[in-house]
Chains A and B, each alone.
Chain A
Amino acid sequence: MKEGKATSQAILECLYNNINRIDSKVKAYVRLGPAATPTEPASAGPLCGIPVSFKDNICTEGLATECCSRILRGFRPPYDATVARKLKAAGALIFGIKTNMDEFAFGSSTENSFLGATRNPWDLERVPGGSSGGSAAAVAANEAIFALGSDTGGSIRQPASFCGVVGMKPTYGRVSRLGLIAFASSLDQIGPIAKDVRDAALLMNVIAGYDPCDSTSVDTGVPDYTRALVNDIKGMKIGMPREYFVEGIDPEVKSIVEESINKLRELGADCREVSLPHTEYAVPVYYIIATAEASSNLARFDGVQYGLRVGDKGGSGGLLDMYCRTRAEGFGQEAKRRIILGTFVLSHGYYDAYYLRALKVRTLIKLDFDKVFEGFDCIVTPTSPTAAFKLGEKVEDPLKMYLSDIYTISANLAGIPAMSIPCGFTKNGLPVGLQLLARPFAEETLFRAAYSYEQNTPWHKIRPKINSGNG
């Protein structure tokens, strides 16, 4: 843009054209919000004039933010999330408000949206992953330059993998959670979804940093992540956890990931097998901790102050009736399932057996990573055991759906940064993602490894073709 080869106006026109052409099929956006006004880059702000799309759980002042839930219909936050404030200050245009998601980020396919499912731009019969499926699909389909997602157990990385784009979950505490409508407060992080590693670094440069208004954010300096974009990983020590390459993984995905690890070797990385022995407990631990926190975080949606209220007029049931009807009609199936599960694990008599024990195992999982990182710079794994699955394929079987996040969940439990980058395609032409993990606040290591891989592979340049015709 500085060279005059692109303008804010041209970028916006291109995006709106693409959206008009294909979003009726992809359904990446649930709302577009007011049209963004182009700002031509003068000197102001590193992202001046560049549009950024927002997941529907990140608050923007005065603009609907509904978590794709009926219970938050019409909710307009009176304030901006810290990331929105920072992006505005960096000159970015708040665009496409907002992208589709599983209700309250509960899901791995974006099918749990009250506003309908998003389709995978590579195959409209398939899911884009989730819960940030709208953001990932929008970026993949060129309906967005880049987008913000949130990641509690893989919700940025898994859809990035399914849609063939780059997605990063930063270290817990790296990006302010203020204004992110909480799913599980101790696991949630906002992160970038972008077409390539450089774009992700540019977005991270703006959104990362200490926020005194988020007590869980960490007061440590933010490097210029673009300086980590160095095409050189000679001697980098990369661990391959053996627990991630066993049963449950699709053989095709496995061989694609193994090929990419060979590529990393070719580039000079020292890749060796390592062990993360508590991996098998990650999914159960996650579903205890995440649902416990969610059951409490979602208690505020009660019809009293904002959002949906059912049964306050003329009903004889009073307060309890209003609570019950509002929540019964306002929450979807999966939200109810998680609230009930979370309420159960925190209940008197069960707390020690479930929640407390889960916290202990969480510490063991974190210690596994600490140990590996004593001798390794990063860890490489598949992002998801399969490529994008078909719509409806897992929606009736929550356990199957939960296993889609089996490789991504541990990073949230351990609080470490993790990234998914495109690493090839299946025979069906579906993208496969490679996950990189590093020690806390070592996002630069991830950027360096990812950039080197990207510079030496063609995957990020391949874009889906979507027929704009009917049918």
Chain B
Amino acid sequence: MYEAVIGLEVHLQLATRTKAFCSCSTEFGKAPNSQVCQVCLGFPGALPVLNRTALDLAIKVGLALNCSAQEHTKFDRKNYFYPDLPKNYQISQYDLPLARNGFLDICLEDNSKRIGIRRVHLEEDAGKLIHRSDKSLVDFNRAGIPLLEIVSEPDINSPEEAHEYLRELKKILEYLEVSDCDMEKGSLRCDANISLRKKGTKALGVKSELKNMNSFKAVREALGFEITRQSQMLAAGEALAQETRLWDEKKGETFPMRTKEEAQDYRYFPEPDLPLFVIDKDKIAAIKSTIPALPREMMRRLEEYGLSRYESGILADFKQDAGFAGRCFDIYPHKNKKPLTNFLIGPLLSEANSRGCMMSELGITPEGLIELLSLLDEGKISNLVAKAALSEMIETKKPAAEIIAKKNLMQISDTAELEGIIKDVIKENQKSADDFRSGKGGALMFLVGQVMKKTAGKANPKAVQGILKERLKE
């Protein structure tokens, strides 16, 4: 009956070496107030100087989100009092953000949807308050770190779409290498605006702004809670208040922080300490040329190798992995890429996951991986051995052939050798042999297993099966 109208505001710390308006380090986790100077502490007489790298990264994000980069951009002061804000104003951007009118395509179950990006602007982060029982402390290390605000259009209609938007956005940001996108460290944060309206109507309802969601999952849950809360109120004929609400993770509900009447008047005006910045076409073109192929493009490329959307989606989650997979596919000699696909999203991905790193960071080269895979494809080693050899390769950094030769793991397909072993196995498992002969087909697999066990997995299971069947007929 009701349709949710959702817009998301994402704040992203840019991974610059120094802060947005001074040369202090942005390194995370240092002793409180050890990375500060008169500028980021807002001392009297101090003046900001824009970090051009931050501006370039910000424009890069704007362009990657299909925004039109603005040729003129300026900074404004957003005025409000808070102890984590050293100057009691934040240098931000108001009416001339550096990029606007873009979009982001998200994948839904069976189609995709385009979500508008209203604006992307650059601002400075605030410090961090640490509350003790009897006092509050401020750490200004974070103050002045360049922060990008990415504001979507209210084109999102469900918590799931919101979740997918955030996932897709994060993926793109990671591809661009502009931020570590770590929500736990606070380098990526998200606020949401949500209102409900009757399906089929155009007018927007009264919105609430949701804050304090520390994961994408929390965003989805908070939105879900809000939809229930707002629709119940509307159904009961109650009036909603425009307000800011905080998400309580433990209770799984939102509660009001301030209403519209208490809303702050930020008194934006142009930052007189910084000039108007002109970003010419050449500069924009130069930044554009640094944008790599993005997740969607990588998926498309992988799908050209015959991968399903699901498979390409997994491999394109991270730029490094997508690139790594692409190089593997390029040199894989067989037309059918399925065995490689399976190996990548099977053993290789699980090795990466268990080690908490990217596939590309395992120390395996595409060439090394293809060598291993060729041995498997040619029937020289079994799947089991291939997995074991992969772990060994990661540990020792030695090539597959060397590991397999050294440990004598080459698959036994030699009939003469297998004949002897199979003879022994039949002898030792007379009952199972009899069972098979009397028509219990399942007994065959038990016997194959025994052969595998005896050969430490090296026997070629197909060959074993063939020989076993022959011998058991006798």
Contact = CB atoms under 8 A, between A and B. Distances in A.
Interface in A376-425: none
A181 B38 contact: no
B273 interface: yes
A78 B269 CA distance: 29
Given A346-B79, A347-B265, A77 B272 contact: no
B89 A299 contact: yes
Contacts of B267: 295-296, 343, 346-348, 351
Contacts of B268: 346, 351
A182 B45 contact: yes
Contacts of A245: none
Interface in A275-325: 292-293, 295-296, 299-302, 304-306, 319, 323
Nearest to B83: A304
A215 B269 contact: no
29 contacts: A58-B45, A59-B44, A59-B45, A72-B44, A180-B45, A181-B44, A182-B45, A185-B273, A215-B49, A215-B274, A216-B273, A293-B272, A296-B79, A299-B79, A299-B88, A300-B42, A300-B44, A302-B88, A305-B41, A306-B43, A319-B83, A323-B81, A346-B79, A346-B268, A346-B269, A347-B267, A348-B265, A348-B267, A351-B269
What are the 3 closest A-B residue pairs judged by CB atoms, nearest first? Answer: A299-B88, A185-B272, A346-B267
A42 interface: no
A213 B49 contact: yes
A305 B86 contact: yes
A293 B270 CA distance: 9
A301 B46 CA distance: 14
B323 interface: no
B138 interface: yes
Given A75-B44, A305-B43, 4 more contacts: A72-B44, A178-B47, A305-B42, A351-B268
B141 to A, nearest CB: 15
Contact of B45 (A179, A293, A355): A179
Interface in A135-191: 177-182, 184-186
B50 interface: yes
B339 interface: no
B72 to A, nearest CB: 16
A33 interface: no
B272 A212 contact: no
Contacts of A302: 81, 83, 88
Interface in A38-60: 58-59
Interface residues of B, number: 29
A300 B86 contact: yes
B128 interface: no
Interface string B47-77: 1111000000000000000000000000001
Interface string A208-249: 000011111000000000000000000000000000000000
A65 interface: yes
Contacts of B269: 292-293, 296, 346, 351, 355
Contacts of A67: 44
B299 to A, nearest CB: 43
A78 B43 contact: yes
A182 B265 CA distance: 23
Interface in B68-116: 77, 79, 81, 83, 86-89
Contacts of B205: none
B83 to A, nearest CB: 5
B275 interface: yes
Nearest to B79: A296
Contacts of B41: 305
Interface in B380-430: none
A72 B87 CA distance: 15
Interface of B: 38, 41-50, 77, 79, 81, 83, 86-89, 136, 138, 265, 267-269, 272-275
Nearest to A346: B267
Which secondary structure dominates chain A's binding surface? loop
Given A296-B77, A355-B269, A215 B87 contact: no
A26 B77 CA distance: 40
A214 B47 contact: yes
A459 B50 CA distance: 47
A21 to B, nearest CB: 33
A422 B273 CA distance: 33
A79 to B, nearest CB: 6
Contacts of B38: 77-79
A180 to B, nearest CB: 6
Nearest to B88: A299
A216 B265 contact: no
A336 to B, nearest CB: 16
Nearest to A75: B44
B79 A77 contact: no
Interface string A65-105: 10100001001011101000000000000000000000000
B96 to A, nearest CB: 14
Given A215-B50, A299-B79, A305-B86, A77 B43 contact: yes
Given A299-B88, A305-B86, A216 B275 contact: yes
Interface in A341-367: 343, 346-348, 351, 355
Contact of A81 (B45, B89, B274): B45
Contacts of B81: 299, 302, 323
Contacts of A216: 47, 272-275
B89 A296 contact: yes
B55 to A, nearest CB: 13
Most buried by A among B38, B79, B273, B274: B273
A85 B310 CA distance: 63
A306 B81 CA distance: 16
A77 B44 contact: yes
A79 B136 CA distance: 28
B45 A77 contact: yes
A293 B269 CA distance: 9
A177 B44 contact: no
Contacts of A348: 265, 267
Contacts of B77: 296
B252 to A, nearest CB: 30
B43 A215 contact: no
Contacts of B42: 300, 305
A190 to B, nearest CB: 11
Nearest to A301: B44
A304 B45 contact: no
A431 B387 CA distance: 96
Contacts of A304: 83, 86, 138
Contact of A178 (B45, B265, B274): B45
Nearest to B39: A213
A55 B194 CA distance: 53
A216 B49 CA distance: 9
B340 to A, nearest CB: 54
Nearest to A320: B81
Interface string A19-49: 0000000000000000000000000000000
A203 B178 CA distance: 46
A353 to B, nearest CB: 14
Contacts of B275: 215-216
A78 B136 CA distance: 25
Nearest to B84: A304
A319 to B, nearest CB: 7
Contacts of A347: 265, 267
B47 A215 contact: yes
Contacts of B44: 59, 65, 67, 72, 75, 77, 181-182, 300-301
Nearest to B275: A215
